Chain A
C-alpha cells in the first residue's frame, strides 16, 4: 500500500486538507483494503457483471467517506468516478458539492477517476454521469448526508437544536447569536464520517440553489487557453522512454517474423517488444521511436479480403449467423400493413464512422518490480486497471490507473488501447514509457461506430394517421469497450492474444419484460407495448422492431449516440416521409403520434423558437435548379427517457453542385433540472455541429485489405472555418425533475433534421449518410426522373 503513487494534485490536496498521505491511505475513504464479494450495481454507474476482475470497491459507494473528506482547515476533498472529458463534468461536480455542503467552490478539491482513491463508477459514458451523480444517490446524496451529519455535530457543539442553526460558507451559526458558530474543520477536520450514504438525507431543493443551476465558468479553461493545462500528452516522468507500435498492414494479418536487426543500430533504439501479434519499439525520443517503427522489417500473413465498400450494405444483410433481437412485436404488423390505405417503404443506410480524435491517443506507463502505474485518458479507469493487470499478468491491486485528460473522445477512441500499449512497452523496457499513436494507427484501428442498414415500412390509415410501423435493421459488431475482463475488445489486447467478446448468434424470441428503448431502436411514435404494458413515447399500437447483429470485420464500439443516432436518422426521416405523403405539416404530424408530453413539449418549443411555418413539405415553391431553401424538424427522447430534444434545421442546397449549407439550427432541450446552463448549451451546440459534420461528410473507407481513411484528407471533418450555421438553443429547465444526460441529445437528431430540410427545399429524399454532394445530386436526379419520383414509395 505504501507504494501507491498519488498524483501531485491528489497529494497536494490531501496535504492542504490536513491529511498526511499515510493517515489518508489508512483511514479516509480509501479503498485498497480487500472488499469481499463486490456488490456491483447500476446504482454506482457500474453495470458490469461481477467476475474475477470485476470492481473490488463498488460496495464502498455506500459510504460517505468514499466521496468526501474534510480537512482541518475546512477544505473539502471530493472523489468521483466520473471524469472530465471536455463536457464540463469537473466544474459541475464542484458546483454540486459546493451546493450541497454550502462551501465555496474554491475550497473544494475534486479528485477524479484514480483507482488509488476514487470510487469505482465504471465508465464515464453513455450520458450517465449527470443522472448517476446528480440525482438521489452517489456524490450528490453523499454530500447531502454529510451536510446533515455536520449540522448534527454542530448542534451538539453549539448546544442548540438543528432547527436553530444556519449554514453558510462551511460555517454553522446559531440564528440570532453571532457569537455561536463553528466551521466544518473544527467539527470533523481530518476525521472520517463513518456514515452510510443516507437515502433519506434531504437534497437542497432547486429553488434554494445558488451555485448549482448557474453558469459557473469551467475552472480548467484558463489553463487550457494559456497552454499550461496538463493533458496526458504532457505527462513526463524521470527516465521516461518513448514507444511506438507497429500494427499489422492489413485487417486479420498475423505476424510471421520480425527482423530485430532492422532496427537494432538505429539512433536511440532501446528495445523491440513482440507479444503474439503485438509489435512495438521503445526508443529514447518520440522521433526516434517513430523512425524505428517505420524501419522495422516485419513479415505478416496477408490477412482477410474485405468486402467491397460499395457492397457493404448488401454484405451486412447477407451475414449469417446473426444475433437477433425483437424489441417489441405486437404480432399484427403484417395484417395491419395489408389493411392500410397506403404502405410506405424505405431503406436507410449509415456508414461506419470514427471517433477520430483531434489528438491521437497517448498514455504513460511505469511498470517495475511487479507494479504498474498508468496515466491514461481512458473513460474507464477501473476497467482499464483490470485489463492492464490481465495483459501484464499482475494482481489487480498491483495496478494503479490515474486518469489524465486526453483529446476529446466521444466514446471509445484509442485511449484504452494505447494504455495497454504503454503498459506492455514499459513492462518490456523496465522503465517508464510514453506512447502517442500515429494518426494512422489511431484512425485505422479504433473501434468504429456501427454501420447500419435499416428497412422501414409503415401503414397509413383512412384518417391519415400511421397505423403500423415495422423496423428491421442489420448492424455489424466486433469488440467493444473492454470492460473489466475483455482486453481483446480493442486492438492491442486482441493482438496480444486476448479474445474479444464472443459473437453469440441467437434467434429472436418474443419480447418480455418492460419495454426499453435504450438504443432508440424503436421510433418515438410507437406505443412500445409488451404484455399489455406500454412504455413507448407514441401512439402507434401495431409495431415490430427487429435487429440483426452480425460480425464486423473492423473493431466497433460506442461512438457518441451509438445506434441511437443511426436509428433516429432512419425514424425521423421516415416520419417525415409519412407526413409528406399525407401532405401534413411535419410538426403537427409528429405531435399527432406522440403521447410523451416532454417530447411533445420540445418539438413545440423548437418550432416556436424557429418561427416554424405550418405547411407540408416539400416547399410549394420548389424550383428544380439553383439554390433551394427549406426547413426540417427531428426529435428524440434520448434512450427513451434520458433527455428530450428537438431540432429545426434550415438549409440551403446548391442544386448544381449538390452542396448542402445548413444556415440555422434551432434546438430545444429538456434534461430535467439544469446544473449549469452554459455548459449544457456548449454540449447542445457541439453535439449539433458534430452531428452536422458526421452527416455531411464523415465515412470510414477501405480497400481490399485495409482502412484507407487514415488522416484528415481521407476522413472529412468540417473545419473551424466551415461556414457554420447559426445555432440557437432553448433550454427547458424542469424544477425538481431528475437530471438526465445531455451530451448525446442534439447529435442524435442533426442528420434527420438536415435531411428533412433538404427534402423540404428540393423534394429530394436523402436516405444514405453521409450526404455527400454526389449523393445529393443523385437524389435530385431521382426526383427529376419521372419513374423515380416515388422511389421507395409503393401504393398499396
Chain B
C-alpha cells in the first residue's frame, strides 16, 4: 500500500505493509536515526516523533493511520552545526551517557513545552513520567529541559508582547 508522509519537511510516498508501525517506516524505509526501537510497546519513549505538535510513540502507531501526516523526528529539529535550542541545552549540560534515550527525552519534552511553555516543575515531571533513561542521567536531563523551558517561556512572552 502506498502511503504519503511528510517527514522533516520532505514528502515521501512509500509502498509499505499498512499494518506496520510507523517506526519501521522511519528507521528502515527512510533510514532515519532519531526514532529508535526501545520496547515496541509504547512504554519507554525511544521511538517518539512529533506529529501535529504532539509526541507520538511511533512503535505502536500503525502507519496506515498516518496518510498525509507531517512528522518531525529528532534530526528534523536541528543539525550538528545548528542544533535546535533544546538540543543545544542537552549538549551544554552534557546530558547523556549512552545517548540511546536522548530521542525519547528531547522529543517528549519539546512537544510538551511547546504546547505548555509556562509549565510548572511538577507538570514537566508528569510529562516525563513514562520516559526512561537507564543510564540515569535524569538530573542533567531535567536541567537541560528546564533550560529549554526558560527559553520557551521567554519566547512565549516575547510573542505576547
Contacts and interface: CB of A to CB of B under 8 A. Distances in A.
From DSSP, what is the main secondary structure of chain B's interface residues? Answer: loop
Interface string B38-68: 1111011010000000000000000000000
Contacts of A406: 98, 100
A722 B96 contact: no
Contacts of B153: none
Nearest to A87: B97
Interface string A217-248: 11011111111111101101000001000000
B139 A226 contact: no
Contacts of B24: 285-287
B157 interface: no
A685 interface: yes
B137 A686 contact: yes
Contacts of B141: 720
Contact of B132 (A88, A227, A717): A717
Interface size class of B (residues with CB under 8 A): 35 or more
B99 A724 contact: no
B98 A720 contact: no
Interface in B91-116: 91, 94, 96-106
A406 B87 CA distance: 21
Given A408-B100, A712-B44, A720-B141, A228 B132 contact: no
A488 to B, nearest CB: 27
B138 A724 contact: yes
B33 A227 contact: yes
B80 A717 contact: no
B44 A686 contact: no
Contacts of B131: 719-721
Contacts of A405: 98-99
B90 A221 contact: yes
A293 to B, nearest CB: 12
Contacts of A268: 17
Interface string A268-304: 1000000000000000011110100000000000000
Contacts of A222: 80, 83, 91
B105 to A, nearest CB: 6
Contact of A359 (B31, B36, B74, B106): B36
Interface in A419-449: 436, 438-439
- Highest count of chain B CB atoms <10 Å: which of A224, A231, A355, A720: A720
B139 A218 contact: no
B38 A719 contact: no
B127 interface: yes
A678 interface: yes
A585 to B, nearest CB: 29
A684 to B, nearest CB: 11
Contacts of A687: 136
Given A686-B136, A712-B39, A724-B142, A719 B130 contact: yes
Contacts of B130: 719, 721
B100 A682 contact: no
B32 interface: yes
B135 interface: yes
B119 to A, nearest CB: 12
Contact of A357 (B77, B90, B129, B134): B134
Given A225-B87, A693-B136, A712-B43, A721 B33 contact: no
A41 B102 CA distance: 38
A85 interface: yes
The residue in B39, B79, B87 that gathers the most chain A C-beta atoms within 10 A of its C-beta is B39
B73 A682 contact: no
Interface centre among B46, B90, B138 (most CB of A within 10 A): B138
Given A218-B96, A228-B80, A407-B134, A358 B44 contact: yes
Contact of A436 (B37, B90, B138): B37
Given A229-B33, A711-B39, A727-B139, A224 B102 contact: yes
A690 B135 contact: yes
Contacts of A414: none
Contacts of A218: 94, 96
B120 interface: no
A231 B90 contact: no
A723 B122 CA distance: 8
Contacts of A87: 97
Interface residues of A, number: 68
A259 B106 CA distance: 44
B94 A217 contact: yes
Contacts of B73: 227
Interface string B71-93: 00111011110011001101100
Contacts of B136: 685-690, 692-693, 718
A86 interface: yes
Contacts of B31: 236
Contacts of A792: none
B96 A221 contact: yes
B78 A682 contact: no
B142 to A, nearest CB: 7
Given A231-B33, A286-B28, A682 B97 contact: yes
Interface in A322-372: 355-360
A717 B133 CA distance: 9
A269 to B, nearest CB: 13
Contact of A719 (B46, B90, B91, B129): B129
B80 A233 contact: no
B150 interface: no
A408 B103 CA distance: 14
Nearest to B19: A287
A235 B103 CA distance: 17
B117 interface: no
B17 to A, nearest CB: 6
Nearest to A717: B132
Contacts of B80: 222-223, 226, 228
Contacts of A233: 27, 36-37
A225 B139 CA distance: 17
A192 to B, nearest CB: 34
B125 interface: yes
A321 interface: no
Counting chain B CB atoms within 10 Å of each CB, which of A223, A286, A410, A678 scores highest? Answer: A286
A685 B137 CA distance: 7
A21 to B, nearest CB: 26
A231 B36 contact: yes
Nearest to B144: A225
A90 to B, nearest CB: 12
A358 B41 contact: no
A764 to B, nearest CB: 26
B128 interface: yes
A106 interface: no
A613 interface: no
A360 B39 contact: yes
A287 B62 CA distance: 11
Contacts of A722: 125, 129, 138
A687 B141 CA distance: 15
B46 to A, nearest CB: 6
A439 B94 contact: no
B46 A359 contact: yes
Given A226-B84, A267-B17, 12 more contacts: A86-B99, A87-B97, A221-B91, A221-B99, A227-B32, A227-B34, A231-B100, A357-B134, A439-B38, A712-B44, A717-B134, A720-B105
Closest 4 A-B residue pairs measured CB to CB? Answer: A86-B98, A227-B34, A227-B74, A408-B98
Interface of B: 17, 19-21, 24, 27-28, 31-34, 36-41, 43-44, 46, 73-75, 77-80, 83-84, 87-88, 90-91, 94, 96-106, 124-142
7 contacts: A217-B94, A221-B99, A225-B87, A358-B100, A360-B37, A439-B43, A719-B131
